[in-house]
Amino acid sequence: MTNQEKKNEPIHSMNTGSIQSPQEDMIPDLGDDYSFDGFEVVRREFFAHLREPSASFCDCRFSINAACLQKFPETTAVQALINPSTHIMALLPCDEDAKDSFIWCKESNGKRKPKPITCRLFFAKVVDLMGWNPNYRYKLLGKLVQANGTKLLVFDLNATEMFQRTVTQEGKLKSSRKPIFPAEWQTQFGIPYSEHQQALKIDIFDGYAVYSIKDAATNAPAVTRAPSTEPYTDEQMP
Among candidate residues 128, 135, 158, the one with its CA nearest the CA of residue 223: 128
At 146, the pLDDT band (50, 70, 90 cuts) reads confident
* pLDDT of amino acid 220: 42
Number of domains in the chain: 1
- Confirm whether 33 is domain-assigned: no
- pTM for the whole structure: 0.63
For residue 209, give its domain range.
53-214
184-213 tens-digit pLDDT:
666 667 767 767 666 555 554 455 555 556
- Confirm whether 30 is domain-assigned: no
- Confirm whether 34 is domain-assigned: no
What is the amino acid identity at position 45?
Answer: E
82-111 tens-digit pLDDT:
999 989 999 999 999 999 999 999 988 889
Phi, psi of 192 (to 5 degrees): -55, 150
* pLDDT of amino acid 126: 96
Beta bridge partner(s), residue 190: 42
Kindly report the average pLDDT of the chain as a whole number. 74
- Confirm whether 133 is domain-assigned: yes
- Confirm whether 167 is domain-assigned: yes
β pairing state of 40-42 and 173-175:
unpaired
- Confirm whether 238 is domain-assigned: no
- Confirm whether 221 is domain-assigned: no
At 54, the pLDDT band (50, 70, 90 cuts) reads very high
**Measured between alpha carbons, how far is 106 from 158 in angstroms, rounded to an integer?**
29
* pLDDT of amino acid 207: 53
- Confirm whether 106 is domain-assigned: yes
The answer to whether the beta carbons of residues 104 and 64 sit under 8 Å apart is: yes
